[in-house]
Amino acid sequence: MKDTAKHQGLRNQLVALLKGKGITDASVLEAIGKIPRHLFLESGFENYAYQDKAFPIGADQTISQPYTVAFQSQLLEVKKEDKILEIGTGSGYQTAVLCALGAKVYSVERQSELFKKTSVLFPKLGVRPKHLSFGDGYKGLPLHAPFDSIIVTAGAPFIPKPLMAQLKIGGRLVIPLGEEVQIMTMLIRKNATQFEKHEFGEFRFVPLLEDKN
């Protein structure tokens, strides 16, 4: 579990790259500059950790490319103490970024292998999500709702209704929508029944699966 000056140098390069790709949120860039992404990957991939690429992490899942993590985080416009629901803990890297932004993170993972891994990893790295849950992301976490924002880190064929219901008025839901290729979509809740929809171009994610394994 080492984080060296060399790793920090690679992170600084990654931050510069993300700036060049249009990420402007200073706090998101700072979080990415701080978090040791190599510790969220299998050791065999360590040398690639600071490239702007997605990598396999087990259970047929991937760690999203840093640009995607930064882009989704920027769309959320995270404020300190925001209560955020994350659907798909995965490697835990996105969770760590949200925690570094000062959010209270409630994260759900449906793959038991990944859930167990992050449950052990987070305390070692000093990452403190408010709540980690093993379950079906389509259902959200009704007991902890409502949320200031919701982030979905897997491609979904449609927007799950329970997630819309668990969003505060004024809150943001960021979700990649589509089958093969996804359109990054943001819903802003205007009132009890109305949502404003924004689309931000194509991304590629592993599919959001229903029911836990």
The pLDDT tens digits of the residues spanning 103-130 come to 999 999 999 999 999 999 999 999 999 9
User: How far, in Å, CA of 155 to CA of 171, rounded?
Assistant: 20
pLDDT score recorded for residue 114:
93
> How does pLDDT run across 160-194, given as a tens digit for each residue?
999 999 999 999 999 999 987 899 999 999 999 99
Residue 213 has pLDDT above 60, yes or no: no
Please indicate whether residue 107 is annotated as part of the active site. no
- Average pLDDT score, the chain: 93
User: Strand, helix or coil at 196?
Assistant: strand
As a whole number, mean pLDDT of residues 67-82 equals 97
Peptide bond into 160 cis (omega under 30): no
Confidence of residue 211 (pLDDT cuts 50, 70, 90): low
User: How far, in Å, CA of 68 to CA of 66, rounded?
Assistant: 5
Nearest to 121 by CA among 95, 144, 143: 95
pLDDT score recorded for residue 33:
97
Catalytic one among 27, 64, 112, 149?
Answer: 64
Residues 188, 211 contacting (CB under 8 angstroms): no
Residue 96 has pLDDT above 90, yes or no: yes
